[in-house]
Amino acid sequence: MSQTLTALAAALPLASGWSIHSLWMRRRIESARRDPLTGLLTRDAFADRAVRVLAGGRSAAYVIDLNRFKEINDVHGHAAGDAVIAATGQRLTYWANVNGAIVVRLGGDEFAAVARVLSLADLSWTLSELTDAIEQPVIVDGRSLTVGASIGAVAYDPVTDDVDLSTLLRLADEQMYAAKRSGADWLTALDLTSQSETVNGRREGRSGTTRGTGAAA
């Protein structure tokens, strides 16, 4: 009996050490899957989780681009721009928690999301809520900075629709660009038909696309 107790006592520190190491590794892996400025998912982590959301039932993909961000960077400096991006990340995180969404920072001042929606009316309500959350002023060094957003969205039903995540995000991107040009807060695709020509899998005119070179950002 005493030998058993001695063996258990010797094993406890080792087991505890492995538990701490395992927890540390999980945190390191999770940290690597998140954008350091916003805490939002990176592209690969987003893609893994977004596919599962889409397969689970009616949902929607969103592409979000901030308005007046370049002006803020130019006038107030990059630190103010980083503060705006960080605040937007916090607001998107809150919106995602409320709506069961998955959100990613695509880069710069552009974001994307996938969330379950029950109907087109539900999608419209969600878009209005998202717009209101993003467009609240951001206070930086005592200054109130006004930020807007252009949002494009497309609804998806796994029962009737046969497109992948990349296609949905491209369609949402088209609607975001149309919203930005028209001055609308957000626009939704009427169907899953692309409205603009594609270059290297992306909307023509998109930053980083060059016809004939095979390069895409």
Tell me the catalytic residues. 109
Query: Are the CB atoms for 148 and 84 separated by under 8 Å?
Result: no
User: H-type helices in the chain, by residue range?
Assistant: 2-32, 43-55, 69-76, 78-99, 120-134, 165-182
**C-alpha closest to that of 172 among 66, 43, 62, 60:** 62
Distance between CA 38 and CA 98 in Å, rounded?
18
The phi and psi torsions of 188 (rounded to 5 degrees) equal -120, 145
Token representation of residue 188: 């939704």
Please count the CA atoms within 13 angstroms of the CA of 43 that sit on its side-chain side: 6
**Residue 108 near residue 206 (C-beta atoms within 8 A):** no
| Both structure tokens of 44 | 């690969």
Enter the tokens of residue 167.
Answer: 């296609």
Q: Measured between alpha carbons, how far is residue 56 from residues 102, 115, 210 in Å?
A: 13, 10, 36
